[in-house]
Amino acid sequence: MYAVISTGGKQYRVSKGDTIQIEKLDKKEGDTILFDKILLISNNGKVSIGKPFLKKSKIEGVIEAQGRDKKISIIKFHRRKHYKKQAGHRQSFTQVKITNIAED
């Protein structure tokens, strides 16, 4: 059994027991989260597709960690023009473990 959910402007394929990194949510570690934007649920070959979302299905998860990804470097450089800019970025994330997929 798996499902496709939408959160933070991205789509994720999840199964029970999976751990995913999603865009940062304003919740604490150990909190339970309920995903309501479910696009698709597949259960042993039976596929339910939402238009655009499934109304009665529920996917629950527990927040395991809040953190930041590795730093990426942004470098702008023009040769022979005495121009160089450097910047960096670390994206914040929330790590969620999927505990239950309930289909109605």
**Averaged pLDDT for residues 17-34:** 96
First-residue to last-residue Cα distance in the chain: 14
Domain assignment present for residue 79? The answer is no
Q: How many domains does the chain fold into? A: 1
Parent domain of 62: 2-67+93-102
Give the span between the Cα atoms of 84 and 23, in whole angstroms: 31
How does DSSP assign 43-84, residue by residue? ETTEEEE-SSS-SS-EEEEEEEEEEE---EEEEEEETTTTEE
DSSP 8-state class, residue 26: S
**84 neighbors 77 (Cβ within 8 angstroms):** yes
- pLDDT reading at 85 higher than 80: yes
For residue 23, the model assigns a pLDDT of 96
pLDDT tens profile 27-79 = 999 999 999 999 999 998 899 999 999 999 999 999 999 999 999 999 999 99
**Averaged pLDDT for residues 79-89:** 97
For residue 5, the model assigns a pLDDT of 96
Phi/psi at 102 (5° precision): -110, 125
For residue 53, the model assigns a pLDDT of 95
Domain assignment present for residue 52? The answer is yes
Give the span between the Cα atoms of 38 and 57, in whole angstroms: 7
Domain assignment present for residue 11? The answer is yes
The position carrying tokens 């994720």 is 12
Domain assignment present for residue 59? The answer is yes
Domain assignment present for residue 40? The answer is yes
